[in-house]
């Protein structure tokens, strides 16, 4: 396979696999010559100001970069150099560990370099989450036995904030987890995102709000005239510990056709 074809094949493969940053070049030679690099997507969308980038368990995130030779084989260890050309974060050049040092309105870039190749991932800088509370804690859905498009609820929402009211601030770009904790049948409802795809996590927007909808499957109601409910818990964690207010109880009332 020609070098250019191999590179194209790698890029196509990585594009299918997931949200990763890939760089490719036309380098030939031994099995240690780097043809392409892959920068895995980060497991958190933001780093808290004054802290290191962490996942939802509280563990420090170390960016992961893979290097591949012209045969598509991974080169281990990959000689990676990290940096950021942006304000807001500092990045250890060897480990890639990210620290949030100042707020910014747009995500900062983390650049991974191997030789002449570079790949980039973005990370936002946000405030420490101190409180999570309901925004839309109780909603209702008038379901339909015939029209499935009517069987998706509005978002059940929470808001994540930093500080104490009235001087609190929204916590943006932060992961909130949602779970159905009570329903009359395990298959009655499922959590979905705005696109209607199954999803149990959301990232807070610029207002600190996150939410998930519920898709109802009326077939699993006890009857076509049943009044029922589904209960959801919303949880946010910082350094592996639940944020004050977690879990937030959210309830969707299910009403039969009028």
Q: Which of 74, 99, 126 is the last residue of a domain?
A: 126
Q: How far is CA 112 from CA 102, 143, 208, 215, in A?
A: 21, 50, 30, 40
Whether residues 86 and 195 fall in one domain: no
Backbone angles phi, psi at 220, to 5 degrees: -95, 10
Q: How far is CA 65 from CA 76, 159, 179, 217, 241, in A?
A: 10, 34, 32, 42, 28
pLDDT tens string 107-148: 999 999 998 999 999 999 999 999 999 999 999 999 999 899
- Mean pLDDT in the chain? 90
Site of tokens 């000689």: 79
pLDDT of residue 26: 47
Whether residues 60 and 173 fall in one domain: no
pLDDT of residue 23: 60
Q: How far is CA 117 from CA 27, 82, 167, in A?
A: 10, 12, 45
Whether residues 140 and 122 fall in one domain: no
The CATH code of the domain that includes 112 is 2.60.40
> Is the separation of the CB atoms in 129 and 238 below 8 Å?
yes
The answer, yes or no, to whether residue 24 has pLDDT greater than 60, is no
The answer, yes or no, to whether residue 7 has pLDDT greater than 70, is no
pLDDT tens string 160-179: 999 998 889 999 999 999 99
pLDDT tens string 70-106: 888 898 888 899 999 999 999 999 999 999 999 999 9
Whether residues 64 and 77 fall in one domain: yes
Backbone angles phi, psi at 106, to 5 degrees: -125, 160
Range of the domain at 77: 3-126
**Planar angle of CA 81, 85, 87, nearest 5 degrees:** 125
């Amino acid at each position: 396979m020609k070098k250019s074809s191999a590179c194209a094949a790698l890029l196509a493969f990585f594009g299918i696999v997931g949200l990763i940053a890939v760089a490719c070049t036309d380098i030939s030679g031994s099995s240690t010559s780097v043809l392409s690099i892959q920068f895995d997507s980060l497991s958190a969308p933001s780093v808290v100001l004054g802290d290191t980038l962490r996942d939802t368990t509280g563990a420090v995130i170390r960016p992961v970069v893979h290097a591949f030779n012209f045969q598509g084989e991974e080169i281990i260890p990959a000689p990676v150099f990290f940096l950021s050309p942006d304000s807001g974060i500092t990045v250890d050049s060897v480990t890639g560990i990210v620290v949030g040092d100042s707020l910014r309105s747009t995500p900062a870039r983390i650049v991974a370099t191997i030789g002449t190749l570079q790949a980039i991932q973005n990370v936002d800088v946000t405030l420490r989450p101190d409180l999570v509370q309901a925004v839309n804690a109780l909603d209702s859905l008038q379901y339909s036995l015939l029209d499935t498009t009517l069987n998706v609820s509005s978002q059940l929402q929470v808001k994540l904030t930093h500080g104490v009211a009235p001087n609190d601030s929204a916590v943006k770009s932060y992961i909130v987890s949602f779970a159905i904790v009570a329903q009359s049948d395990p298959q009655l409802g499922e959590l979905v995102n705005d696109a209607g795809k199954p999803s149990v996590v959301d990232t807070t927007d610029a207002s600190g709000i996150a939410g998930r909808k519920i898709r109802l499957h009326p077939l699993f109601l006890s009857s076509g005239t049943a009044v029922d409910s589904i209960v959801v818990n919303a949880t946010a964690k910082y350094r592996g510990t639940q944020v004050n207010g977690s879990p937030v109880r959210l309830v969707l009332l299910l009403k039969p056709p009028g």
